[in-house]
Amino acid sequence: MELRERVAALMPRAKKDLAELVAFRSVADARQFPPEECEKAAQWVLDAFAQVGFGGLRLVETADGSKAVYGERPGPPGAKTVLLYAHYDVQPPLDEDAWNSPVWELTERDGRWYGRGAADCKGNILMHLTALRALGDDVPVGLKLIVEGSEEQGTGGLEDFVPKNADLLRADAILVCDTGGAAVGRPALTVSLRGLANVVVSVEALSSEMHSGMFGGAAPDALAALIHMLSSLRDAQGNTTVDGLDNTQTWSGAPYPAGQFAADAHVLNGETPLGDGTVSDMLWARPALTVLGIDCPPVVGSASAIQPHARARLNLRVPPGMDAVRAQDALIAHLEAAAPWGVHVTVEREASGQPFLAETGGPAYTALRGAMKDAYGVESVSLGQGGSIPLCNVFRDTYPDAEIILMGVEEPLTLMHAPNESVDPHEIARMALTEALFLQRY
């Protein structure tokens, strides 16, 4: 039986296994879900990889308290080594009422499989397993495995673990399987990741709420001041305008057609993509500021009063070539300078992570591109990713000679991190075939 046929025959098992894995509510935050859910998911992963020839399997505790699954499968003498990466933790479900099927129950609808983590990143775990099941004993390289348990929380457990255990995870090629293609059926390698720089800005204007009729117009309004400050971070075209940050860089890889982006991003009719660059420029080559949340009175229950304080949580995405810490410094300085009316402003630093740009000229990339073409029947493209995976920089710093390849099943329709996350099973099959062909040829 040819490799493609073996993968196809394994897809019912992949669906069954993914259903079991999705059922674990493995959000790595004990404030939201029991830690036992992550522990059960980790044990499931360990047991599954034991069945495809991995030895030395164990749960390794990381600095943030999460457990990563480690294992290895030695290759022939002198063979190259490939490290397989994924994560079993997931984002919280957000508004469960917005889901059209149960969050923790894999549900097939219109040819896609729905459930939290179906794509990000449990679908990639099944991609690994399906590839290895299809290959059987025919794996001419050594394999190592690391599946972490706190990637979505950004608490850095594995980032701390890797340099302290460098020999354990050392490999010639590292498959970071937490991204995806340009669209269903259109394979891609992610070669660029934006970094991030988060802050929380607080504004204090008065010591108490004051009657808007008696004092409004002369007394400073903290919420209005915050709105004024936030408005300075975008221009009329929607470009991010943080003083000191270049917002003119361009993307040289594959384009992201505006029409496709509008559909993928669920843009409302009549709206156009932001900025004066291409969609690809705005997503992958330029800084992007998002207001993640604001603390202020809700509409229902609000009073006729001037707000004495308000705050907002801001997320700044940072493109390759821009230092994330300096970008965070620039954002803080901009906010402080933009504060009107003498209001008191404090800015709290949150997470920051450096952007990543892959080196793509080595033999692993050559083999992977060929495998993708054979699996999909079309050439792969190079894409950027707006999301941040700080671990990639840790891998690069710890293993400067390793080729780091970002790929996976997470094409734009997956709605990862949002309600109604799903995966296209054809992407699991095609990416499993891609991985299997790569491991045969590398």
Alpha helix locations (H) across 274-323?
279-284
Residue 5 designated active-site: no
Listed residue (431, 408, 382) closest to 192, CA to CA: 382
Cβ neighbors of 207 (< 8 A, separation 6 or more) are: 308
Listed residue (442, 433, 379) closest to 409, CA to CA: 433
Q: Long-range contacts of range 261-270, CB-CB < 8 Å, 24 or more positions apart? A: 264/412, 264/413
Q: How far apart are CA 389 and CA 318, in angstroms?
A: 12
Q: Are 71 and 53 in contact (CB under 8 A)?
A: no
Q: Are 119 and 421 in contact (CB under 8 A)?
A: yes
> Phi, psi (5° rounding) for residue 259?
-65, -40
In single-letter form, the type of residue at position 440 comes to Q
Listed residue (349, 354, 320, 318) closest to 332, CA to CA: 349
Q: How far apart are CA 244 and CA 247, in angstroms?
A: 9
Listed residue (67, 25, 22) closest to 46, CA to CA: 67
Q: Long-range contacts of range 27-36, CB-CB < 8 Å, 24 or more positions apart? A: 27/89, 27/90, 27/91, 27/92, 27/152, 28/66, 28/89, 28/149, 28/150, 28/152, 28/153, 28/155, 29/92, 29/153, 32/92, 33/92
Q: How far apart are CA 16 and CA 35, in angstroms?
A: 24
- pLDDT score at 153: 87
Catalytic-labelled residue, pool 151, 221, 281, 421: 151
Q: How many helices (H) and strands (E) does the chain have?
A: 13, 18
**Cα 248–193–286 angle (5° rounding)?**
15
Question: What pLDDT, in 10s, does the model give residues 4-58?
Answer: 999 999 999 999 999 999 999 999 999 999 999 999 999 999 999 999 999 999 9
- H/E run at residue 142: strand 142-148
Q: Which two tokens stand for residue 95?
A: 């508004």
CA distances from 369 to 7, 119, 134, 366 (A): 19, 22, 20, 5
Question: What pLDDT, in 10s, does the model give residues 82-136?
Answer: 999 999 999 999 899 999 999 999 999 999 999 999 999 999 999 999 999 999 9
Listed residue (192, 186, 175) closest to 368, CA to CA: 175
Bridge partners of 204, per DSSP, are 309, 344
> Phi, psi (5° rounding) for residue 226?
-65, -45
Q: How far apart are CA 336 and CA 429, in angstroms?
A: 51
Average pLDDT, the chain: 95
- Band (199; pLDDT cuts 50, 70, 90): very high
Q: Are 210 and 295 in contact (CB under 8 A)?
A: no
Q: How far apart are CA 168 and CA 396, in angstroms?
A: 15
Dihedral sign, Cα of residue 185, residue 186, residue 187, residue 192: negative
The answer to whether residue 73 scores a pLDDT higher than 90 is yes
Question: What pLDDT, in 10s, does the model give residues 181-195?
Answer: 999 999 999 999 999
Q: Secondary structure of 175-197 in the HEC alphabet?
A: EEECCCCCECCECEEEEEECEEE
Question: What pLDDT, in 10s, does the model give residues 132-191?
Answer: 999 999 999 999 999 999 999 888 899 999 999 999 999 999 999 999 999 999 999 999
Q: Secondary structure of 6-51 in the HEC alphabet?
A: HHHHHHHHHHHHHHHHHCCCCCCCCCCCCHHHHHHHHHHHHHHHHC
Q: How far apart are CA 414 and CA 302, in angstroms?
A: 37
Question: What percent of the chain has pLDDT above 70?
Answer: 99
Question: What pLDDT, in 10s, does the model give residues 408-437?
Answer: 999 999 999 999 999 999 999 999 999 999
User: Roughly what angle, to the nearest 10 degrees, separates helices 3-22 and 35-50?
Assistant: 160
Q: Are 274 and 187 in contact (CB under 8 A)?
A: no
Catalytic-labelled residue, pool 37, 89, 120, 281: 89
Question: What pLDDT, in 10s, does the model give residues 214-252?
Answer: 999 999 999 999 999 999 999 999 999 999 999 999 998
Dihedral sign, Cα of residue 280, residue 281, residue 282, residue 287: positive
User: What's the pTM value of the predicted model, to 2 decimals?
Assistant: 0.87
Residue 151 designated active-site: yes
- H/E run at residue 238: none
